């Protein structure tokens, strides 16, 4: 495919998907509901994490997750107390459950406090031709805190053969 053909293809996709009527029925509407960079990052990451199943279910459960985070994901991640995590326990989307969500919040807190945020972690192994090393490094950093082994299945690693579709979203 030539650059001109690629541009034409991508422009057609923009026309197809970059419309308010498409966004209203797509999980992308979750991060689009925020203006603060960190809220967009966190809500996008959490929504992408549970992006399997039908879109309506993904949207409903993403909205529920954001409500549990008091509609301010970054503030919740940075300022939650241990007791605040207890209300996340009942959350379930397919195999992603409250224990997983609680770990994700603790890990995101660590990423923002210790590693300079999600953008910084992904930029550590930046490569203009591939995000594989960045995603793999992200997974290592994401799971540097004590966690249940089952939780690791929710973040894929392209260095271990995964296409990492959800994290690439």
d(CA 123, CA 19): 30
What is the span of the domain harbouring residue 70?
3-168
The torsion defined by the Cα of 130, 131, 136 and 140, in degrees rounded to 10, comes to 140
Burial status of residue 99 (CB atoms within 10 A of its CB: 0-12, 13-18, 19 or more): middle
- State the pLDDT at residue 61: 94
Residue 31 in tokens: 């991060």
Q: Report the largest interatomic distance among the alpha carbons of the chain, rounded to a whole angstrom.
A: 55
How many structural domains compose the chain? 1
pLDDT single digits (tens) 98-141: 999 999 999 999 999 999 999 988 786 655 566 777 777 888 89
d(CA 80, CA 69): 9
Burial status of residue 115 (CB atoms within 10 A of its CB: 0-12, 13-18, 19 or more): middle
- Non-local (6+) Cβ contacts of 36 within 8 A are 74
Question: Which residues does the chain have with pLDDT short of 50?
Answer: none
- Within 13 Å and on the Cβ side, how many CA atoms surround 119? 5
């Amino acid at each position: 495919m030539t650059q001109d053909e690629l541009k034409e293809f991508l422009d057609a996709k923009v026309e197809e998907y970059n419309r308010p009527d498409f966004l209203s029925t797509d999980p992308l509407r979750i991060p689009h509901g925020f203006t603060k960079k960190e809220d967009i990052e966190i809500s996008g990451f959490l929504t992408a994490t549970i992006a399997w199943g039908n879109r309506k279910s993904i949207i409903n459960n993403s909205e529920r997750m954001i409500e549990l985070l008091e509609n301010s994901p970054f503030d919740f991640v940075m300022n939650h107390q241990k007791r605040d995590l207890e209300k996340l326990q009942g959350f379930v989307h397919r195999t992603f459950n409250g224990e997983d969500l609680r770990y994700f919040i603790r890990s995101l807190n660590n990423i923002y406090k210790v590693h300079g945020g999600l953008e910084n972690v992904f930029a550590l192994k930046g490569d203009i031709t591939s995000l594989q090393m960045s995603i793999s490094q992200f997974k290592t950093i994401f799971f540097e805190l004590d966690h249940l082994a089952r939780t690791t299945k929710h973040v894929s690693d392209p260095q271990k053969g995964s296409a990492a579709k959800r994290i690439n979203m």
